[in-house]
């Protein structure tokens, strides 16, 4: 690889498909990409193994590591703590590979401050429509109604951040629509491997983000109403 290894930040609203894209990147280019396994206080979902999906920590252990300065970034998401360990990122970069971070938006902002462009590249991934995102979140079924509502509320905030960031591109260099997995993965590959690539923000993307915020807000409101109705 001729390009110096970069920190590749993939952020997306929950259900946006970033984990699938990250997995696919590593599968297609195992020599080029490495994954940073995050730490979290969230309980493992069925099938998630320690050290693969996450390092599962108690809150006390997580806090201890925060105080020891072991995190590149960390954030609270839906009541749980998530963070990127410096050791993970440094290990992958030292091996000459780009390191992929699958993180939420507050963390993406913090990474930007430590690894400015072009040492990092940050990509916001959105599903083709708000309906597709809601559908994916519902299908996951590992979350309770309350958790679903919480994740949806966070999704609204995250997409709004991306929308506000469209012109300044402080947090995100690129926005990729995850309609077709193959197209999205190729899009991400093209972005990572060309640090000079110019941001391409079409008016469609701007409209898509605005439409997303509107629909997600509506869905979050509906969910809120149905909770009230059932209690
Ligand atoms: P989940 O609980 O669905 O695995 O993840 C919830 C959210 O936390 C997702 O947006 C995911 O990308 C984000 N996340 C996972 N690891 C990290 C991390 O190390 N740092 C931050 N800031 N967010 C993370």
Q: Mind listing the pLDDT tens digit for each residue in 128-158?
A: 888 888 888 777 766 677 888 888 889 999 9
Report pLDDT for 196: 74
Q: Whose CA is nearest to atom 3 of ligand 1?
A: 14
Q: What is the pLDDT of residues 15-37, one digit of tens each?
A: 778 889 999 999 999 999 999 99
Q: Ligand 1, from 103, 111, 137, 162: best to mutate by most atoms within 8 Å of Cβ?
A: 103
pLDDT at 222 over 90: no
Maximum mean pLDDT: which of 57-61, 116-120, 123-127, 198-202: 57-61
Q: Whose CA is nearest to atom 20 of ligand 1?
A: 83
Q: Ligand 1, from 7, 47, 73, 107: best to mutate by most atoms within 8 Å of Cβ?
A: 107
**If you average pLDDT over every residue of the chain, what do you get?**
89
Q: What residues contact residue 83 under an 8 Å CB cut-off, 6+ apart? A: 38, 39, 40, 62, 65, 66, 71, 72, 73, 74, 75, 107
Report pLDDT for 228: 59
CA 11 to ligand 1 center in whole angstroms? 9
C-alpha 46/C-alpha 68 separation (Å) is: 31
CA 23 to ligand 1 center in whole angstroms? 15
Which stretches of 114-170 are assigned E, i.e. beta strand?
Answer: 120-126
CATH no., domain 7-37+97-230: 3.40.50.300
Q: Which residue has the higher pLDDT, 2 or 109?
A: 109
Structural domain spans, the chain:
7-37+97-230
Q: What is the pLDDT of residues 101-122, one digit of tens each?
A: 999 999 999 999 999 988 999 9
Bridge partners (DSSP) of residue 122 are 9
Report pLDDT for 229: 55
Report pLDDT for 198: 65
Mean of pLDDT values over 162-189: 89
Tokens, residue 153 = 């509320």
Q: Whose CA is nearest to atom 5 of ligand 1?
A: 14
* Confidence bin at 197 (pLDDT 50/70/90): confident
CA 55 to ligand 1 center in whole angstroms? 12
Report pLDDT for 13: 87
pLDDT at 209 over 70: yes
CA distances from 218 to 116, 136, 153, 197, 213 (A): 36, 17, 10, 36, 9
C-alpha 39/C-alpha 75 separation (Å) is: 11
Report pLDDT for 163: 87
Greatest distance between any 2 Cα atoms in the chain: 60
Pocket of ligand 1 (CB under 6 A): 14, 38, 42, 73, 75, 77, 82-84, 102-104, 106-107
């Amino acid at each position: 690889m001729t390009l110096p290894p970069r920190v590749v930040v993939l952020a997306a609203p929950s259900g946006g498909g970033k984990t699938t894209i990250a997995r696919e990147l590593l599968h297609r280019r195992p020599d080029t990409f490495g994954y940073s396994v995050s730490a979290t206080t969230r309980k493992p979902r069925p099938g998630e193994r320690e050290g693969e999906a996450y390092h599962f920590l108690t809150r006390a252990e997580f806090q201890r590591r925060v105080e020891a300065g072991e995190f590149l970034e960390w954030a609270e998401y839906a009541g749980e703590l998530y963070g990127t360990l410096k050791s993970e990122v440094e290990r992958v970069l030292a091996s000459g590979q780009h390191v992929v971070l699958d993180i939420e938006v507050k963390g993406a902002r913090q990474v930007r401050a430590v690894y400015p462009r072009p040492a990092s590249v940050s990509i916001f991934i959105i599903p083709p429509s708000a309906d597709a995102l809601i559908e994916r979140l519902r299908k996951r079924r590992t979350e309770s109604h309350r958790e679903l509502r919480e994740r949806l509320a966070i999704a609204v905030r995250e997409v709004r951040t991306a929308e506000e960031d469209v012109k300044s591109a402080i947090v995100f260099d690129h926005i990729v629509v995850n309609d077709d997995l193959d197209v999205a993965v190729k899009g991400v590959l093209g972005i990572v491997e060309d640090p000079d690539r110019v941001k391409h923000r079409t008016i469609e993307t701007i409209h898509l983000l605005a439409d997303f915020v509107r629909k997600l807000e509506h869905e979050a409101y509906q969910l809120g109403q149905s909770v009230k109705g059932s209690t």
